[in-house]
Amino acid sequence: MKRRTSQMIIGSAMSVAAIAVAIDHTRHSVPEPVARVQNDSNMATSTDSDSPCGLGASPCGLGGESPCGLGADVSPCSL
């Protein structure tokens, strides 16, 4: 496979991916930037010391809305 062919294949794949991301993005509402910072609970801290993702008072999420929580047992933090 020549270099030009590789470039075309990868370039096409990236273009398709970019279009897919754009379509996906437009299908979902975007939160206000300020509100998002305040509500960054998808990655933020909580005080639940029993969280599987956290140590002491420092879990990385809020219960069921946490990236660390699949139920209460496992931690997609590690994905």
Question: Applying CB under 8 A, which residues contact other proteins?
Answer: 1-3, 5-7, 9-10, 13-14, 20-21, 23-25, 27-28, 30-31, 33-34, 36-37, 40, 42-45, 51-61, 64-71, 73-79
Q: In a 10 Å sphere around its CB, with 0-12 CB exposed, 13-18 middle and 19+ buried, how is residue 34 labelled?
A: exposed
Least separation in angstroms between CB 5 and other proteins: 8
Give the whole-angstrom CA distance, residue 18 versus residue 28.
16
Work out how close the CB of 20 gets to other proteins at its nearest, in angstroms, rounded to a whole number: 7
What's the closest the beta carbon of residue 33 comes to other proteins, in angstroms? 4
